[in-house]
Structure 1
Amino acid sequence: KVTELGSARQALLWFLEQGLDLPVRCANGDVIWRRPNYATIHRMIANPIYGGAYAYGKSRSVPGYDGRSGIRRKARDEWLALIPDAHEGYISWERAEEIRKMVSDNVPASRHHGAPKHGDALLAGLFRCKRCGRKLTVRYTGANHNIPRYSCWRGLLDNGEPRCIAFGGLRVDDAIEEALLGVVEPGAIAAAVEAERNMANQRDQVQDALMRELEAARYVADRAFRQYDAADPENRLVTSELEARWNKALTGVGEIEAKIAKHRTITPHPFPMSASQVTALAGNLRAVWTAPTTDARLKKRIVRTLINEVVADLDDGTSEIVLVIHWVGGVHTELRLPKRHRGQRNATPDDIVDAVKQLVLIANDDVIAGVLNRNGLTTGNGNRWTRERVTALRSYRKIPVFRPQIDGVEPWLNLGGAAKLLGISPKTLRLAAEAGDIKGAHPLPDGPWIFSRSKLA
């Protein structure tokens, strides 16, 4: 699960969301199942025993201020012994080391990429400055603080050195996306088949975990019954205590069985995809990638799977941003992008700006981006519209953001809302608006109608 979700914390949140417990060995040797925490999952990842290795000398005794001795863990390279393949592990030693290294690399230090975050910057943690070798940091601008900008500030902040380089993130992220999709698209069908297989197996993961928990609970209940059955009936104090333990174990079994029944009820059964559906899914890879609803963390995980890092520099002679992509396979690709000069802007056509000014009356930036793309409109750079690009356009043009009214009475309505207010069908209202009998705005051919509530009353 850690491998699938990319971090120990995300795996913890998945266990908590599914209501799954993990086994813990108590000091007396008993194993109990309880709600997991981060430390439990992290110890499993760091413990070499799960990878089939024997380790010795992982801690040392240190004196305390009060004269007592304490125990402190050693660094991994200070252990007295670490013998891989000493016994059969849950997974192979190589796989265990890969997972441990991945979790270790999630620490946002200078030598690591850091775990994928919620921010929209696609390459956060992957950029390295060619001039000083430091990692570039990302900061967000715009009205909603979601327009990324990459900068090399560490030399200035730490040592008072001149700032190296800085550039806007939208154009750079777009160029990396194009390069990455060009690499991924040839294997899109295989990826679609694997995605369908993962969807079918997702339900089994939860059910298998619950069945293992149920098996352990039934064993505890059976052992409690055998202890109760073997007790002397004359010793009422002992038998009453054993009976209470047995009843408690049976209650635990019932709770887990109820969890399994609920899970089977609320979880939809997966259905196999046909060959045409798989092909369509593969063909829509670019559309899925650019959809406003696609999770930014998922995109970052895909990028980190294929790209080790990107070395960035500015060519002042040609006024270009120079990017060298270091792919995982050892191939290097150089991209050159024109640098945006101060005061220069990529002109968005006025008709698109006017359409956005009208659409913000009834729609947020996600919806507006979808409407613009549906009408085949692009940005000044010729790119598809995303939520971030609509936000940047609004911020530059000082167009207010759409905010729903607290009382629910919106001053502007779409076709469905206006038809409901008038008590007629949407088709009738549309025909009346097209004929000019009712005043309404239709900024884009394949887009919503906009009506003023005050003019309809």
Structure 2
Amino acid sequence: MNEIAIAGEAVRVAKPTGLFHPKVTDRHLGFLAAVYVRQSTSAQLREHQESTARQYAMKDRVVALGWPQDSVIVIDDDLGLSGSGNADREGFRRLLKLITDQKVGLVAGLEMSRLARNSKDWSDLFEVCAIFNTLIADEDGVFDPHDPNDRLVLGLKGIISEMELHTMKVRLERGRLSKAQRGELFHDVPVGYVLDAQGSPQLDPDQSARRVMQLFFDQFEITGSSHALFQYLAEHNIRLPFRQRRGGVSGDIQWRLAAKTTVYGLLKHPLYAGAYGYGRTKRYGTKMPSKATKKHLLPEQWKVLLIDRHPAYITWQQFCDNQQRLRENDSRPDRMGPARTGVALLSGIVYCEKCGRRLAVSYPSNSSPVYRCARHSTVAGATPCNSSIRCEILDALISDKLLEALSPAGIELSLQVIQDEETRRIQMQRIYTDRVQQACYAVEVAERGYRHVDPANRLVAASLEESWEQALVAQQDAQQQLNELLSQVSTEIDDAQREAIEQCAGDVVTLWQRHLGVVDRKEVARLLLKQVNVAVQGNTQRVDVRLQWRGGYESVHEIMRTVTVYPQLDNYRELMDRMLQLVLDGNRSPAVASILAEEGYRSPRHNKPISASMIGKLLNDDPASHQQLTTPILSEHQWLTIDLATAIGVTTKKLKDWVRRGWVLADQRPFGRVWVFWADAVELTRLRQLSVSQSRKGCMGPTESLRTPTRNDRKTP
């Protein structure tokens, strides 16, 4: 007797007494024999019990090959799992481990398809058995992976097993598609429907169930998002009528609160619009098969779409509008997203005019919310767009324009603008029609030139052929542009719509300011505005705002934003020039600040008067002002200290002492402590004589004429 340890327990393998198959040797019989049992689905376990019994009966065939009963193990851990490679088969992994541990001499299965239905698993089993000299058996015979002929047979059996699965899938899918094209394939129907005796969906016969489902879709028109609808249903405890199907017959209603995913799935189902759809979703594989994602396709991508085939709760147009709203609610860069509770009125519909990206909304803890373009922080090497503006400033403009559009006078103006837009489109249509005719004529000319050329002249023919092709491309572009123009929705409003708008706009200002919440205001803004584009003029206070209205026209406005630094002010250069002039006139900082406040100059961030402490900082930070204060541009007869001292032969210290005594004319520019002296030819002669009179020790003081400047009423510019 041989002992083999399996799972920590010793299994005694009886030594065989003889050989019952030429390929089975004493070495094989000295190990265990493993019988692998598998059914693909739970339904097969219930309905195909004979197949399962035949697989278990393979144990008797293994015993007939010479293995004792207690040396045969049955691995049935994978019952109900597919062998296509998508499922994690624990029993199959256990089988491979037994082989690599050299504890199994034979692997048996009813068919090779029971072991694996994909090339990867089959190749792994095949090669492992060959390496460790393990036989493979099915009800057709015993195969040795080392034998070339057996390897050929085993390879063919593996390929056939995989192709058999593929063939069955194709056959079943074609059968389903054929039935779906007739609109008769229903595995189940959504909430609010039942299947009749012929298998066709009908509205739920329970009137209360129909009312709830009608409320379901009516409320979505109000909330605008699946999440808001789910919250509404949960908050008001509105339960949906679920029915359990038993034996093809709809059972009793079970009123349950719908999960969030269920609400979204019901909104995506076309049967509520009376349409039949097949192939509405597509699975996308990932590295983890268990985490494959399912995405909903657009109606034009479905395999089958039959409209107006069954009773409906909503129209097909309402269904398409609902799908568009659901797509817009996705949090993606190219979609506006749902209206949320943030105070920013234009979140999701405001864009940067320069780069075309949607502006993000930031909520600083110590400041007001801001619309900001973050392209330079996400794209390497991108130049900042500087498109940032406080939400309250932009929202105030948009609120005023929305109220103007909703007021009676504003509506009349809007209607006139719409009529003008319609006239403009007619004109554009004529222009694009003329372009198409011109392109057609160019094609005819190019074609005639190509057909009249001598084919032997290849160079000319090739050039004319290229010109002909370019003319055809231009014709296609012109026709496409004309088709796009013709497909635009007309902006004309009939009398009934005009009257309804005038009635609802009576007291809209009070309604907007006092009764509408944040989300409601955002919904109104999105109903009237398609997009808002913001462009800051040169990183200054001025902001151009372009409004794209749903009616098809645009309006352009200019507002002033709050900036953080003085150079961003629109009148920054004017402010600095005025500040410099006041300083050069001899005014000190408090006086300059007072004068600027009287003239209406304000700080950028808080819109307050400019403080005296900022005067010196601004002048020093501004290059032009700093140069004028520290290295001023001198006019005629003006001197700097070092230049005048050198010219008259005295030191700078003595020259400044003369200033203190009043013997020379000079002004000291503030903040830079730069002295500017005035001296023409006559004054220069007097200063030189004054220098000579003070050059010897013990000399008498200068005369009155030498001490008196020749011009004492001058002001240094």
The TM-score with structure 2 as length reference comes to 0.33
| Structure index of larger Rg | 2
The structure showing larger relative contact order (alpha-carbon pairs under 8 Å, at least 6 residues apart) is 1
